[in-house]
Chain A
Amino acid sequence: DAKTTQPTSMDCAEGRAANLPCNHSTISGNEYVYWYRQIHSQGPQYIIHGLKNNETNEMASLIITEDRKSSTLILPHATLRDTAVYYCIVRLSGAGSYQLTFGKGTKLSVIP
Chain B
Amino acid sequence: EAGVAQSPRYKIIEKRQSVAFWCNPISGHATLYWYQQILGQGPKLLIQFQNNGVVDDSQLPKDRFSAERLKGVDSTLKIQPAKLEDSAVYLCASSPGLTSSYNEQFFGPGTRLTVL
Contact = CB atoms under 8 A, between A and B. Distances in A.
Interface in A42-79: 42-46, 49
A104 interface: yes
Contact of B41 (A43, A97, A104): A104
Interface of A: 41-46, 49, 85, 87, 93-105
A99 B45 CA distance: 8
A98 B103 contact: yes
Given A93-B103, A96-B103, A97-B103, A43 B93 contact: yes
Question: Which secondary structure characterizes the binding site on chain A?
Answer: loop
Interface in B97-113: 97-101, 103-110
A58 to B, nearest CB: 15
A97 B31 contact: yes
A37 B107 CA distance: 11
A96 B97 CA distance: 6
A39 to B, nearest CB: 11
B56 to A, nearest CB: 7
Contacts of A43: 4, 91, 93, 107-110
Nearest to B44: A102
Given A46-B106, A102-B44, 19 more contacts: A42-B107, A43-B4, A85-B42, A93-B103, A95-B99, A96-B98, A96-B103, A97-B95, A97-B98, A97-B103, A98-B103, A99-B33, A99-B45, A99-B56, A100-B43, A100-B105, A102-B41, A102-B43, A104-B41
A44 B93 CA distance: 9
B107 A44 contact: yes
A42 B109 contact: yes
Contacts of B109: 41-43
B99 A44 contact: no
A97 B107 contact: no
Contacts of A98: 103
